[in-house]
Amino acid sequence: MIKVCKFGGTSLADGTTMRRVAEILSADPTRRYVVVSAPGKRYGGDVKITDLLYECHRSVEKCGKAGEAFEKVKERFRGIAFELGLTFDVEALLARTEEEIEHERSEEFTASRGEYLMGRFMAAFLELPFVDACDIVRFSSGGKLDDGKSFALTAAALKGKKGAVVPGFYGADRTGRIHTFTRGGSDVSGAIVARAVGADLYENWTDVSGFLACDPRIVDDPAHIRSLSYKELRELSYMGANVLHSESIFPVREADIPIRIKNTFRPEEAGTDILPMSRYRYDGRIVTGIAGKKNFAVVYVEKSLMNSEIGFARRILSVLERYHVSFEHMPSGIDTISFVIDEEQLKGGTLEKITEDIKAAVRPDQLRVFDDIALIAVVGHGMSRNVGTSARLFDAIARAGVNVRMIDQGSSELNIIVGVDNENYERTVRAVYEEFFR
């Protein structure tokens, strides 16, 4: 059996937590390949290494030097080396890294050095080979993961190695320059390694014991999700349940490799299993989880006989594309179509330009924008198996005194998404949770 283990930043914040990681690995010899994040916060008010590195880049852009921020980075890693009793030339590695940061003058290169340094330190501590992610993870010219090439390079690099340490979060583009995933991308790196070595299980170690049915900041002591499907994970992660990066399932999906979320600080707890449909078994739950996000805008377009006007939606989508704006959902009716867009994309006058261009492109009878909208996703395979689920959902929201501004349900019946005013977000989540979990 082969297990690939990815450890998050809180699991690698200092020498003490790294020793805990070593204990977890030694307790199970099938845990052979280790993917690491950059050191996270050690305590409240501390700064993540990655954030310090972004500050380094700003300093390099301003004055050509990594500056005080990199001094803080060096102090963190010196402390780790001291705590672990590492004997390799730490100062030379840190000095060379600083020189490279100042020479490259690249935000992505600089941001990746937290994972790189942690990989070097962890490999030395565990006495395992270090395999640099820039040699095995490849991105296309458009910044998209080249999974085929990445799997092949990773498999070749790890072939014959009984174990290895790989830094997460980054790889290289076709020119060899460092390219990074989005925040939390080390989860994807771990999945790439798991797929490449044909792992039986991908363990993702963090500071929580798996997924909860909803945000514990909104609902006290929410139910623990013991298992869920890849599809349910994708919906919940995309809508804000950020235990695992939403794209981490793609490398392992075709190989049917399950993912297990585990708590580094409570390794005895079962965690959450994320399963391919071939292994998923329905357990009778109606709703698996609830997740959501605030601050969306809905661009509502109405025009009579829209359905018979060829290319109507395409012309609107062309406007969004022109301004590099993506949409989250596109609910429609016979004479109406709406686009739900993250408000972050519509700043600086972009919204006004888009609405004017849409008016020119399709000459709508009416165009309105509703802002400050929160989206809440209610997710679960059981919803399609139980009559009256939608009725229960909307009845619970009505009893809470909340007006639903938008409804969107996919044909798979895996989820129902409702839009409410931002100010009603927490109240709605609590009402839905009470209905299906209490």
User: Can you give the pLDDT at residue 274?
Assistant: 92
* Residue-averaged pLDDT of the chain: 94
In 95-200, beta strands by DSSP E:
164-167, 170-172, 178-180
What would you measure as the largest C-alpha separation in the chain, in angstroms? Answer: 75
Q: Is the pLDDT of residue 412 over 70?
A: no
For residue 233, what is the DSSP state?
A: H
Q: Where are the domains of the chain?
A: 3-275, 289-437
Average pLDDT over residues 269-277: 92
Strand partners, 164: 33
For residue 278, what is the DSSP state?
A: T
Q: What is the pLDDT confidence band of residue 283, given thresholds at 50, 70 and 90? A: confident
Return the closest-CA partner of residue 376 out of 338, 399, 408. 408
User: Can you give the pLDDT at residue 248?
Assistant: 85
Average pLDDT over residues 144-160: 95
For 195, phi then psi, to 5°, come to -65, -40
CA 293 to the chain's CA centroid: 14
By the 10 Å C-beta count (0-12 exposed, 13-18 middle, 19+ buried), 210 is classed as buried
Q: What is the pLDDT confidence band of residue 410, given thresholds at 50, 70 and 90? A: low
Q: Which CATH superfamily is domain 289-437 in?
A: VC0802-like (3.30.2130.10)
Q: Is the pLDDT of residue 413 over 80?
A: no
User: Can you give the pLDDT at residue 411?
Assistant: 60
> Cβ(377)–Cβ(236) under 8 Å?
yes
For 23, phi then psi, to 5°, come to -65, -40
User: Can you give the pLDDT at residue 277?
Assistant: 85
* Residues 366-378 pLDDT 10s: 999 999 999 999 9
Where is average pLDDT lowest: 2-6, 99-103, 198-202, 280-284?
A: 280-284
Average pLDDT over residues 27-35: 97
CA dist 147 and 194 (Å) reads 12
User: Can you give the pLDDT at residue 421?
Assistant: 97
Return the closest-CA partner of residue 216 out of 241, 236, 239. 241
Average pLDDT over residues 59-69: 93
For the chain, the straight-line distance linking the first and the last C-alpha, in angstroms and rounded, comes to 39
- Long-range (24+ apart) CB contacts under 8 A made by 175-182 are 176/134, 177/106, 177/108, 177/109, 178/104, 178/106, 178/108, 178/109, 178/112, 178/134, 179/108, 179/139, 179/143, 180/108, 180/111, 180/112, 181/145, 181/245, 181/247, 182/245
* Residues 301, 304, 310: CA angle, nearest 5 degrees: 85
**SS3 state of residue 354:** helix
For 165, phi then psi, to 5°, come to -115, 130
For 228, phi then psi, to 5°, come to -155, 165
Output the CA–CA distances (angstroms, integers) from residue 287 to 83, 239, 276, 279, in the order listed. 46, 15, 18, 19
User: Can you give the pLDDT at residue 141?
Assistant: 81
- Tokens 């829209």 locate to 306
CA dist 210 and 223 (Å) reads 11
Asked if CATH classification 3.40.1160.10 holds for the domain at 3-275, the reply, yes or no, is yes
Q: Is the pLDDT of residue 96 over 90?
A: yes
CA dist 192 and 249 (Å) reads 10
Query: Amino acid identity of 197?
Result: V
* Residues 346-368 pLDDT 10s: 999 999 999 999 999 999 999 99
Q: Is the pLDDT of residue 149 over 90?
A: yes
